[in-house]
């Protein structure tokens, strides 16, 4: 419960709540502040209670470790996140001292007997015969504490736990609240929806003046993006394969090395009759053994549950063990005795047999030769790419260097940051990757880029020849796009107007059936939905919320916008929540208790911070972030 609480807590006391109650946290280093030695430089004070530099140092290191576990990487005190970790460490210690100050004021304490019992019950200090003092002494030496210091630290922990446990008891959720939340969340509504589909609404084609005026009023929405003219060269294995040769001796050597792996196991074409019981299976087998065709027997005995199947050309491992054993024990043309399986009784026959064999060299030559050529090309490609890069560095034009080294050359007349041309079509979608586009739009015009490698091992280089800056879209070069947006908006406006008229007709008493017959209107029932339903049937959350604000049989007061158009919605059925089950009751009570605890402890800490003086030496604190 409290692990989840700590993950969302805004209060440092909330974050401390669980750890402060468990002594073993101190022993295993999760909360070294509990066992920090006193003395040293004072970094902060809470109502006269000191927080020392060694305490802050240990808690700071704990916070850095937590950060490393969460985000990865080598986060030390010089890292930008270190300041956050240091603040967390100090605030954690301040929260502890606030509890200590409160305990001192109201007189909450722990007896020597309680402290002794807590130490004796600590599992880390137990041996074969119970409490082992040597384990305690070993621990004290490892952390540099005296027994007196440790006893007082345990006493403080007991007191802190007592304070927080008393607050926890106040956070229990009342039964009426649990039931109210259950009823609120699990009541359902079934909705009658009359949808005006925007796509079905007809609108007139605007004249040029109308489109021009629309563009002028909405110019900020219509921008022609920056385009670049680019020459791109890509060098991969496929580009040099034709230049790679392998001799027959290499291919034969590879064949001999892998011959056993080419072995093809025996395969058989197996057919079967499947019967539901052994008696029927035996009858079917007798008829097949007497010379009848399997399919004919299956058709004749279909009334008794017999079916025919051709299992195809299969290896032994492709069949269940019992079926395989029977099928691969038969001679070609033989029929097996019934074989039992979870599906029934099988009668098997073998029509053809392909013996086990190893493909000869000639059958594998082309495959192995291609493999060797690719392997050689992969080994040669890096050095070839380096030579290509050197050629470019020497001043050779990209086009000439690409031709010399066999790289594919692509001329991109106009491409935007998203890889689209001015018509909105993808440019070389199978070649142009996001990392390439990012580099292309970061480059200057006229300069060849550095050679780079793709994730699949190809090399690429480019040159930006021209840059057309972003500018307002004109009607001349964006008419189709502007027209499409204009039409979408006009259709939706018309759909809204029609939906409003439908709602007026319904309010005037016209039946939903008659209104639904209006051209362009589609009626559907959606639900049931809950206020926090995972299945929303495409309805926005605000529409569902509004449906719970009206009574059964009523229409929502205004049309609602959906992705497909505009709708009028009626609550066709209103159902209360089902009876509260014990498991649901416990889950809701648990959820509420966590929330109440968070709120209660946050307010408690705020009250303590107002009641007691907290002073932090910022200069001393800053030294923790120095190299």
The pLDDT tens digits for 269-325 are 999 999 999 999 999 999 999 999 999 999 999 999 999 999 999 999 889 999 999
Record the tokens describing residue 203, joined without a space: 């609108």
Say whether pLDDT at 78 is over 70. Answer: yes
Reading the block at residue 172, the tokens are 């229990």
Does residue 141 lie in a domain region?
A: yes
Any domain includes 591? no
Question: Does one domain contain both 6 and 98?
Answer: yes
Q: Are residues 228 and 130 in the same domain?
A: no
Domain count along the chain: 4
Q: Is residue 141 scored above 80 in pLDDT?
A: yes
- Is 596 part of any domain? no
Please compute, for residue 116, the number of CA atoms within 13 A of its CA located in the half-sphere on the CB side: 3
The reply to whether 150 and 197 lie within a common domain is: no
Give the per-residue pLDDT at 463: 94
Helical spans, DSSP H, in 328-466: 361-393, 398-405, 434-440
DSSP 3-state of 433: coil
| Token pair in block for residue 166 | 């008393």
> What CATH number does the domain containing 40 carry?
1.10.4030
Rounded distance, CA 238 to CA 531, Å? 57
**Do residue 142 and residue 197 come from a single domain?**
no
pLDDT over 50 at 537, yes or no:
yes
- Kindly tell me the sign of the dihedral angle through the C-alpha atoms of 23, 24, 29, 31: negative
End-to-end CA separation in angstroms for the chain: 39
495 and 390 share a domain? no
* Integer Cα distance of 47 and 133 in angstroms: 36
Are the beta carbons of 100 and 156 closer than 8 angstroms? Answer: yes
pLDDT in tens, 499-523: 999 999 999 999 999 999 999 899 9
Rounded to an integer, what distance in angstroms lies between the CA atom of residue 129 and that of residue 47?
Answer: 44
Residues 8, 104, single domain; the answer is yes
145 with 42, same domain?
yes
CA 130 – CA 182 distance, rounded (Å): 48
In this predicted model, what pLDDT tens digit does every residue of 351-368 receive, in sequence order?
999 898 888 888 888 888
Cα distances from 489 to residues 214, 486, 497, 516, 603, in angstroms, run 11, 5, 12, 23, 50
DSSP secondary structure of 565-578: EEEEEEEEEEEPPP
Tokens of 415: 């491409």
CATH number at residue 339: 3.10.50.40
- Mean pLDDT, the chain, rounded, equals 85
Indicate the residue among 472, 506, 528 that finishes a domain.
472
pTM higher than 0.85:
no
User: Would you say residue 135 lies in a domain?
Assistant: yes
Asked, for residue 250, whether it belongs to a domain, the answer is no
> In this predicted model, what pLDDT tens digit does every residue of 223-245 receive, in sequence order?
899 999 999 999 988 888 888 88
Round to whole Å and give the CA distance between 507 and 510: 7
Chain segment 171-209, per-residue pLDDT in tens: 777 888 888 888 888 899 999 999 998 888 888 889 999
| pLDDT for 247 beyond 50 | yes
Domain that holds residue 435: 224-240+381-472
- Are 502 and 518 in contact by the 8 Å Cβ rule? The answer is yes
* pLDDT at residue 627, as a whole number: 54
Backbone phi, then psi, for 181, in 5-degree steps?
A: -65, -40
| Cα–Cα distance for residue pair 1/590, rounded to 1 Å | 8
In a domain, 366, yes or no: no
Q: How far apart are CA 240 and CA 403, in angstroms?
A: 12
Q: Which run of H or E residues covers position 156? A: helix 147-168
Asked whether residue 590 is assigned to any structural domain, the reply reads no
Same domain, 40 and 167: yes
Which neighbouring-strand residues pair with 197?
565
- CA dist., res. 416 & res. 431, Å (int): 15
* Sequence-ordered list of residues with C-beta below 8 angstroms from that of 463, at least 6 positions apart, any chain: 230, 231, 398, 446, 447, 448, 449
Q: Which residues, at least 6 apart from 566, have a Cβ–Cβ distance to it below 8 Å?
A: 195, 196, 198, 492, 495, 496, 498, 499, 559, 560
Instruction: Enter the tokens of residue 16.
Output: 């401390």
Q: Which of 472, 498, 514 is the last residue of a domain?
A: 472
Q: What is the mean pLDDT of residues 330-334?
A: 90
Q: How far is CA 212 from CA 64, 216, 385, 483, 488, in A?
A: 60, 6, 52, 10, 17
Q: Which of 12-16, 53-57, 346-350 has the lowest mean pLDDT?
A: 12-16
Count of C-beta atoms within a 10 Å radius of residue 627: 5
The rounded distance, in Å, linking the Cα atoms of 521 and 462 is 54
Same-domain status, 38 and 144: yes
Question: Which of 564, 567, 568, 487 has the alpha carbon at shortest distance from 198?
Answer: 564
Closest CA to 120 of 160, 164, 154: 154
Pair 42, 159 in one domain: yes
Instruction: Identify whether residues 166 and 69 lie together within a single domain.
Output: yes
Residue 423 clears pLDDT 90, i.e. is over it: no
Looking at 441, 472, 503, the residue that finishes a domain is 472
Residue 587 belongs to some domain of the structure: no
Give percent above pLDDT 90 in the chain: 40
Domain co-membership, 296 together with 326: yes
């Amino acid at each position: 419960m409290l692990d989840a609480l700590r993950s969302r807590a805004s209060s440092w006391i909330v974050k401390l709540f669980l750890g402060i109650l468990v002594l073993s946290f101190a022993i295993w280093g999760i909360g070294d502040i509990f066992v920090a030695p006193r003395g040293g430089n004072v970094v902060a004070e809470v109502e006269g209670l000191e927080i020392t530099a060694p305490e802050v140092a240990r808690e700071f290191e704990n916070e850095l470790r937590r950060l490393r576990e969460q985000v990865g990487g080598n986060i030390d005190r010089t890292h930008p996140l270190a300041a956050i970790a240091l603040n967390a460490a100090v605030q954690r210690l301040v929260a502890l001292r606030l509890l200590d100050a409160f305990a001192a004021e109201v007189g909450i304490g722990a007896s020597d007997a309680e402290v002794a019992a807590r130490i004796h019950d600590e599992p880390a200090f137990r041996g074969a015969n119970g409490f082992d003092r040597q384990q305690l002494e070993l621990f004290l030496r490892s952390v540099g504490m005296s027994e007196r210091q440790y006893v007082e630290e345990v006493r403080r922990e007991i007191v802190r736990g007592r304070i927080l446990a008393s607050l926890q008891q106040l956070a229990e959720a009342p039964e009426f609240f649990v039931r109210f939340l259950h009823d609120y969340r699990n009541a359902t509504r079934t909705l009658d929806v009359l949808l005006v589909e925007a796509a079905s609404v007809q609108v007139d084609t605007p004249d040029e003046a109308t489109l021009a005026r629309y563009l002028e009023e909405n110019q900020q929405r219509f921008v022609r993006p920056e385009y670049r003219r680019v020459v791109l060269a890509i060098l991969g294995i496929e580009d040099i394969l034709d230049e790679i040769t392998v001799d027959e001796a290499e291919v034969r050597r590879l064949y001999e090395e892998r011959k056993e792996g080419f072995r093809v196991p025996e395969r058989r074409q197996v057919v079967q009759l499947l019967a539901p019981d052994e008696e029927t299976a035996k009858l079917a087998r007798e008829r097949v053994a007497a010379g009848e065709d399997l399919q004919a027997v299956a058709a004749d005995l279909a009334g008794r549950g017999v079916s025919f199947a051709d299992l195809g050309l299969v290896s032994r491992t492709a069949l269940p063990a019992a079926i395989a054993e029977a099928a691969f024990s038969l001679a070609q043309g033989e029929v097996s005795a019934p074989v039992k399986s979870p599906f029934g009784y099988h009668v098997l026959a073998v029509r053809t047999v392909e013996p086990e064999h190893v493909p000869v060299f000639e059958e594998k030559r082309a495959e192995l030769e291609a493999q060797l050529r690719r392997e050689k090309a992969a080994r040669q490609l890096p050095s070839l790419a380096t030579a290509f890069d050197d050629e470019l560095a020497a001043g050779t034009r990209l086009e000439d260097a690409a031709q010399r080294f066999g790289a594919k050359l692509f001329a991109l007349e106009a491409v935007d940051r998203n890889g689209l041309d001015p018509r909105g079509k993808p440019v070389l979608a199978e070649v142009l990757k996001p990392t390439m586009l990012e580099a292309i739009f970061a480059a200057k015009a006229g300069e060849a880029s550095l050679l780079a490698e793709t994730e699949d091992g190809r090399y690429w280089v480019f040159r930006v020849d021209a840059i057309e800056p972003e500018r307002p879209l004109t009607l001349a070069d964006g008419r189709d796009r502007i027209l499409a947006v204009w039409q979408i908006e006009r259709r939706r406006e018309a759909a809204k107007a029609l939906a409003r008229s439908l709602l007026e007709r319904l309010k005037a008493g016209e039946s939903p059936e008659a209104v639904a017959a209006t051209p362009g209107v589609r009626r559907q029932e959606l639900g049931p939905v809950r206020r926090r339903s995972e299945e929303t049937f495409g309805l926005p959350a605000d529409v569902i919320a509004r449906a719970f604000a009206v009574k059964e049989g009523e229409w929502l007061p205004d049309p609602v916008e959906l992705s497909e158009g505009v709708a009028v919605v009626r609550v066709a059925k209103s159902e209360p929540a089902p009876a509260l089950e014990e498991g649901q009751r416990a889950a809701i009570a648990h959820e509420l208790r966590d929330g109440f605890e968070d709120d209660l402890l946050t307010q408690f800490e705020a009250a303590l911070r107002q009641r007691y003086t907290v002073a932090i030496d910022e200069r001393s604190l800053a030294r923790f972030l120095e190299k």
